[in-house]
């Protein structure tokens, strides 16, 4: 049996024998099978395969059968459970008691033997025991022989399952820090307690000199390097060198840098995931990797002052394609910002798409744009825009050259066409790194994100005395006229990628205007994912016991464990998050 995390479906039934249990079991099993079909049809693993579900081998009516299901699920690597029932059953005797496994209960809304009664009793038991569970209850009564799943129930099942699978897939994996703290950036001070207690992850470390050692000793797949370098020369278009002529590298030196950064890319990937090819070459230890589901590269300044920067490596690893074709994106944080890396990981596990690591660079007010460019911002951008820009490590997918229904998008790798890969590469130019920042050279990607993409901008921050908090801003990318974009963009660095972002405004708090979003952002970095995934992030954060301190997700899309409701329904947007998370503490404390 492989090691995929599976979803366990627990059909819960009334224990009473004598035309009660016997009458209910067919409907209960039908519910379980319907849920398994829905999840397998709609959800995927990172390689594109359908998520696998395991239905307990017997209906659960007692502690004994609950334990039998636990043992079965342990053997079949179940990391998430969903209990289903159409009727009353014995609440505290049948619930999932695993403290680390995300869990939900669907109580069938039917009037004959309402599953809502069991749902309420079981949730009360979970809350009393401090084992949060998500309650799912349809808004309309169904007939007892109706084996369909209503749309509102489907939405909650999928929202729960996406988030719960992210929790389960992080557990036991590692964050690999390649190097240490970059330029005093607090996020690159790796906090092991956060990773261990909140995400269930390990921390691994290698010095950046390990990359140089492997380059010097040839500890990488030589055949793949030749193929990767040829692909890079063909598809990675070199753009204008914006350095002063006296400081520009020679053509020969630039070619050496290209070869160096391609080797860096192979080695960073091997450090994360391992590579059996290295064992074949006699490097058995190096072949193992660090089981890293996410990583970060320090770069500045101890590496970049004399060696090529990590922009190319980070951008290619974060993208959904390389010289081996389309593949699941890796999660590689620039400047070893482990908190942004952890944020990228959440979005990647929820969507299976590439994530964009960015600086929160500048708020451009309508007045400032008018003064600098003589242009009146309009449409979504009428209240100003936030400039998302960093030194070139963003995923190439962020160009928006992929499409969904004819609109720019970022898609899971299995849905990306070769034409979309080609267009993403053609939309990106690679520029010799700015000598003022990167004395050792390198190549930074210049790519402009197309407007019209719904995106979610988010970030985990650590706060003394509080712990981790999550910020979320749903909104859209926007287009500016070419001359306006160039005037604003080139004030920073013309060789770096850009996205122009406008958050959805609510008229109050941190979302009263665009300036307030920028003003309330908690760090210099953030991540954006394609789509409005704020509700999934909030559900996931609740599972991890991370409160959300800033978001603009509509109330009707929020879905948290039943436990939260006891901590202030009148402030369900955020206040209950703080109180419930504080009471429960970290998931893996």
Instruction: Tell me the catalytic residues.
Output: 335, 359
Q: DSSP label at 403?
A: E
User: Is 352 assigned to a binding site?
Assistant: no
Q: Could you tell me if 182 and 300 are in contact, meaning their C-beta atoms sit under 8 angstroms apart?
A: yes
d(CA 106, CA 124): 14
C-beta separation of 208 from 223 below 8 A:
no
Alpha carbon distance 498, 387 (integer Å):
7
Two tokens at 326?
Answer: 């389309």
Phi, psi torsion values for 103, nearest 5 degrees: -145, 145
| CA atoms of 554 and 81, how far apart (whole Å) | 27
Query: Cα separation of 201 and 195, whole Å?
Result: 5
Q: Which two tokens stand for residue 239?
A: 């753009």
Phi, psi (deg, nearest 5) at residue 473: -140, 110
Do 453 and 403 contact (CB within 8 A), yes or no? no
14 is in an annotated binding site: no
N-terminal to C-terminal alpha carbon distance within the chain = 30
Burial profile 116-146: b = 16 or more Cβ within 10 angstroms, e = fewer: bebbbbbbebbbeeebbbbbbbbeeebebee
Q: How far is residue 423's CA from residue 402's CA, in Å, rounded to a whole number?
A: 8
Which of 346, 390, 178, 195 has the alpha carbon at shortest distance from 268? 178
Beta bridge partners of 363: 386
What is the torsional sign of CA 549, 554, 557, 558? positive
Write out the two tokens for 255.
């070619």
153-179 burial: b if 16+ Cβ within 10 Å, else e: bbebbebbbbbbbbbbbbbebbbbbbb
Sorted by sequence, the CB contacts under 8 Å of residue 27 that are 6+ apart come out as: 86, 144, 145, 147
Tell me the backbone φ, ψ of residue 486, rounded to 5 degrees. -65, -45
Q: Is 431 annotated as a binding residue?
A: no
Binding residues: 335, 359, 525
Binding residues for Mn(2+): 335, 359, 525
């Amino acid at each position: 049996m492989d090691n995929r995390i599976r979803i366990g479906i627990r059909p819960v039934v009334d224990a009473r024998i004598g035309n009660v249990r016997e009458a209910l079991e067919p409907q209960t099993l039908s519910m379980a099978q319907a849920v398994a079909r829905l999840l397998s049809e709609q959800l995927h693993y990172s390689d594109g395969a359908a998520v696998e579900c395991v239905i307990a081998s017997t209906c659960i009516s007692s502690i004994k059968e609950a334990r039998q299901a636990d043992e079965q699920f342990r053997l079949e690597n179940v990391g998430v459970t969903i209990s289903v029932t159409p009727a009353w059953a014995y609440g505290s005797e049948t619930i999932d008691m695993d403290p680390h496994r995300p869990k939900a209960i669907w109580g069938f809304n039917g009037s004959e033997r309402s599953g809502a009664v069991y749902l309420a009793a079981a949730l009360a038991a979970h809350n009393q025991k401090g084992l949060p569970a998500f309650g799912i209850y349809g808004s309309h009564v169904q007939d007892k022989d109706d084996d369909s799943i209503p749309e509102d129930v489907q939405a909650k099942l999928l929202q729960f399952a996406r988030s719960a699978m992210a929790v389960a897939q992080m557990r036991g994996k590692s964050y690999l820090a390649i190097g240490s703290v970059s330029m005093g950036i607090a996020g690159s001070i790796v906090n092991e307690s956060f990773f261990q207690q909140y995400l269930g992850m390990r921390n691994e470390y290698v010095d950046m000199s390990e990359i140089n050692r492997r380059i010097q000793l040839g500890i990488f797949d030589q055949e793949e390097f030749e193929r990767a370098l040829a692909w890079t020369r063909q598809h990675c278009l070199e753009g204008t060198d914006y350095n002063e002529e006296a400081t520009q590298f020679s053509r020969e030196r630039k070619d050496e840098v290209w070869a160096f950064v391609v080797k860096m890319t192979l080695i960073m990937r091997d450090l994360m995931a391992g590579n059996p090819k290295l064992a074949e070459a006699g490097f058995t230890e190096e072949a193992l990797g660090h089981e890293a589901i996410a990583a970060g590269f320090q770069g500045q300044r101890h590496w970049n002052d004399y060696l090529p920067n990590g922009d190319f490596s980070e951008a290619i690893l974060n993208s959904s394609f390389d010289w081996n074709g389309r593949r699941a994106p890796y999660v590689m944080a620039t400047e070893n910002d482990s908190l942004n890396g952890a944020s990228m990981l959440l979005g990647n596990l929820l969507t299976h798409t590439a994530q964009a690591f960015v600086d929160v660079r500048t708020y451009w007010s309508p007045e400032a744009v008018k003064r600098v460019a003589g242009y009146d911002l309009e449409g979504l951008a009428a209240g100003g825009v936030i400039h998302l820009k960093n030194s070139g490590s963003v995923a190439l997918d962020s160009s928006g050259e992929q499409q969904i229904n004819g609109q720019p998008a970022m898609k899971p790798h299995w849905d990306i066409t070769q034409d979309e890969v080609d267009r993403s590469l053609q939309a990106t130019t690679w520029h010799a790194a700015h000598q003022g920042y990167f004395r050792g050279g390198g190549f930074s990607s210049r790519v402009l994100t197309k407007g019209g993409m719904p995106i979610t901008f988010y970030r985990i921050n650590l706060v003394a005395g509080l712990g981790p908090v999550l910020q979320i801003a749903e909104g859209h990318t926007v287009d500016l006229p070419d001359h306006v974009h160039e005037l604003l963009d080139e004030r920073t660095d013309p060789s770096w990628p850009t996205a122009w972002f406008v958050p959805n405004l609510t008229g109050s708090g941190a979302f009263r205007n665009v300036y307030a979003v920028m003003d309330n952002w908690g760090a210099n970095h953030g991540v954006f994912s394609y789509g409005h995934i704020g509700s999934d992030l909030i559900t996931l954060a609740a599972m991890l016991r991370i409160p959300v301190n800033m978001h603009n997700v509509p109330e009707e899309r929020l879905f948290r464990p039943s436990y939260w409701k006891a901590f202030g329904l009148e402030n369900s947007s955020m206040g209950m998050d703080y109180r419930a998370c504080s009471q429960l503490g970290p998931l893996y404390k």
